[in-house]
């Protein structure tokens, strides 16, 4: 698989994007103030350091602003961010930030009128020259602070506990129910031979429900998978849920009786 097709990390958290933007902004300000590239040493002003540091501030602000639109793109591709997405995004970002910096440099510092020709020339010379300096650091930070979400197949589910290595991958049709036991949960499911098994994770019932919202609550201490339910026996005062496989029965409380009953119709 080539890099362009490979799924890579993506920094989705706004807090982390702000951190990355700040680091990049400080770095750019340092380069411009200390190294003074592109004849910056010929620029004179009573507030030279402040004027030059604004380049870094603009870079940071544009990075954060652009990230909002980038997150929408990330959602559109179902949170599977590939190498070619990163490449296109970096090109668009540097075009965007280069244009903003050009306007600041042209209109505010040099006090020149806007010119499309000068705009394109600035992108082709100044911005393009800075890309080899800033792009590698930008990509590195985005990968370092990013995450890679592996899509779960549509017929599968993942249950994650609080302790290390508490991860259970199951086919949806194999889960029977989840029971809360103090600070733990007991997960009851079927093995390959349709034999009921159970594992215990340190987790809350609410968190597991959030992880897998297709489950339904049938009792304050139980979540049930409706697709494995065989029948509901008894009335609303003493109802029990039985399953297609196994002899296990779990309670169905009066609070959830109508909702669960209706979901099985």
- pLDDT reported for residue 35: 85
**So where are the chain's domains?**
14-144, 156-263
Whole-angstrom CA distances from 105 to 51, 110, 114 are 10, 6, 11
Distance CA 161, CA 27 (A): 40
Are 205 and 221 in contact by the 8 Å Cβ rule? The answer is: yes
Query: How far is the C-alpha of 7 from the C-alpha of 81, rounded, in Å?
Result: 6
Nearest to 240 by CA among 225, 176, 195, 229: 229
Contact in structure between 177 and 224 (CB atoms under 8 Å): yes
In order along its 265 residues, the chain shows pLDDT tens digits of 577 888 889 998 889 999 999 999 999 999 999 988 877 777 788 888 998 999 999 999 999 999 999 999 998 887 889 999 999 999 999 999 999 999 998 888 888 899 999 999 999 999 999 999 999 999 999 999 988 766 667 788 888 888 878 889 899 999 999 999 989 999 999 998 889 999 999 999 998 998 888 999 999 999 999 999 999 998 888 899 999 988 899 999 999 999 998 888 7
Q: Residue 133: helix, strand or coil by DSSP?
A: helix
Q: In 3D, which of 228, 252, 230 has the Cα closest to residue 171? A: 228
| Whole-number Å distance between alpha carbons of 129 and 28 | 13
How many residues appear in the chain?
265
Six-digit token string for 58: 């603009």
Phi, psi of 73 (to 5 degrees): -65, -45
CATH code for the structural domain at 156-263: 2.40.50.1020
Does residue 185 contact residue 56 with C-beta atoms inside 8 Å? no
Supply the pTM of this predicted model: 0.61
d(CA 195, CA 173): 13
Nearest to 250 by CA among 173, 174, 177, 172: 177
Do residues 78 and 151 touch, judged by C-beta distance below 8 A?
A: yes
Give the pLDDT score at 188. Answer: 96
d(CA 15, CA 101): 24
Q: What is the pLDDT of residue 152?
A: 62
- What CA–CA distances, in Å, run from 33 to 27, 43, 103, 110, 128? 10, 11, 19, 17, 19
Distance CA 8, CA 61 (A): 24
């Amino acid at each position: 698989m080539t890099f362009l097709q490979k799924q890579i990390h993506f920094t989705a958290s706004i807090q982390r994007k702000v951190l990355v933007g700040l680091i990049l902004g400080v770095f750019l300000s340092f380069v411009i103030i200390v190294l003074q590239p592109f004849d910056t040493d010929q620029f004179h002003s009573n507030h030279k350091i402040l004027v030059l540091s604004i380049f870094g501030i603009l870079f940071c602000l544009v990075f954060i602003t652009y990230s909002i639109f980038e997150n929408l793109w990330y959602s559109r591709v179902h949170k599977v961010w590939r190498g070619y997405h990163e490449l296109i995004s970096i090109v668009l970002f540097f075009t965007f930030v280069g244009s903003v910096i050009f306007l600041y440099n042209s209109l505010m510092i040099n006090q020149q009128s806007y010119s499309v020709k000068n705009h394109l020339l600035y992108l082709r010379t100044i911005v393009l020259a800075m890309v080899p300096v800033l792009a590698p650091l930008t990509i590195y930070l985005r990968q370092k602070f990013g995450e890679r979400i592996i899509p779960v197949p549509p017929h599968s589910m993942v249950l994650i506990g609080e302790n290390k290595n508490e991860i259970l991958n199951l086919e949806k049709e194999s889960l029977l129910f989840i029971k809360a036991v103090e600070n733990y949960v007991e997960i009851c499911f079927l093995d390959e031979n349709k034999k009921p098994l159970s594992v215990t994770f340190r987790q809350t019932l609410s968190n597991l429900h959030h992880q897998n919202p297709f489950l339904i609550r049938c009792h304050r201490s139980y979540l049930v998978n409706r697709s494995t339910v065989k029948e509901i026996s008894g009335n609303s005062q003493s109802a029990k849920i039985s399953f297609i496989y196994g002899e296990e029965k779990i309670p169905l409380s009066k609070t959830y009786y109508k909702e669960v009953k209706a979901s099985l119709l």
